[in-house]
Amino acid sequence: MRRGVIFDIDGTLVDTNYLHVVTWWEGFRRQGHDVLMVDIHGAIGRAGKDLVEYLLPEASEEEAEAIKGVHSELYKPHLDEVRPVPGAGELLHTLAGRGMVVVLATSAPKDEADRLIEVTGAREAVSVLVDADDVDKSKPHPEPVRQALEKSGLDPRHTIMVGDSVWDMLAARQAKVGCVALRSGGIDSGSLREAGAEAVYKDCHDLLQHLDESPIARLL
C-alpha cells in the first residue's frame, strides 16, 4: 500500500512568503493601488493571476499582467538568497526513508519550484512535483492536490498534506486528504485550524520532532 505526504513549497519548505508579499505590494503600488501588506500576506499561496484577482477584482487583464510582471521581476533575484525553513530537508529525507512517497504541490511555476527544491537540499527525497504549469486551477481549488494524488498513485485516505496557508488546507480538505499546517509562512494557528488543519506546528523541524504523535503517524 502506497502512503505519502504532499508538501506545499513556499512558506512550508522555503522561507519565501515575506519576499512575495513585498514584491507583490510593489507591483500593486506601481500601478497606483494601495493594498495593505497583511492582506497580500493572506493571499499568498494562490497562483499569481488568482492572487491579483482576489485582492484587486477591478483590475483589468492588462493591469493584472503589469502587476505580475513587476512581482516576477523583483522576486526572481531573491531566489539566489532564499533559505530553507528549519528542518525542511531533514523532514523530507526522514519521510522518504520511512517509506513515504514525498510529493510537492505548488502554485509556483516549474523553474521557480525547481530552484526551491534545490534550496531544501532534499531533491532525491522528492518523487513527484505538481507545479503551476500542471494545473488549470490553483489552490484553494482541489485540482493541484488531486493531480498530486494521481501523478503519484496515492489514495487520499493514505495521504497527508502539509502546508502553511489556508489555501493549502482548503484544497486538501476538498480533495479528502488530511492536513497539517506549519506557522513558518506567517499565518496564525487560529486561521489555519479554522481552514481545516488537524494539527499546527511551528515549522518542519517542530513537525519532525513530533512526527510520531502527528497526523502523519497514522501513515507510518
Q: Which residues of the chain form contacts with a second copy (CB under 8 A)?
A: 15, 17-19, 21-22, 25-26, 29, 34, 36-38, 41, 81, 83, 85-86, 183-186, 188-191, 203
Between 83 and 123, whose beta carbon lies closer to a second copy? Answer: 83
206 CB contacts (<8 Å, ≥6 apart)?
87, 182
Residue ranges with strand state E in the chain: 4-7, 101-105, 128-130, 159-163, 178-182, 199-201
d(CA 13, CA 7): 8
Comparing CB distances to a second copy, the nearer of 88 and 145 is 88
Report cis status (omega within 30 of 0) of the bond before 156: no
Task: Answer for the pair 5, 100: CB distance below 8 angstroms, yes or no.
Answer: yes
Distance of closest approach, residue 16 Cβ to a second copy, in angstroms: 9
Q: Please report how close the Cβ of residue 57 comes to a second copy at its closest, in angstroms.
A: 17
Burial of 115 (0-12, 13-18, 19+ CB in 10 A): middle
Least distance from a second copy to the Cβ atom of residue 189, Å: 7
Other residues' Cβ atoms within 10 Å of the Cβ of residue 118:
13
Amino acid at 83: R
Q: Which is nearer to a second copy, 20 or 141 (by Cβ)?
A: 20
The least distance separating a second copy from the CB of residue 197, rounded to whole angstroms, comes to 14
Quick one: 25 or 143, whose CB is closer to a second copy? 25
Q: Compute the least distance from the CB of residue 36 to a second copy, in Å.
A: 6
Nearer to a second copy, 81 or 213 (CB): 81
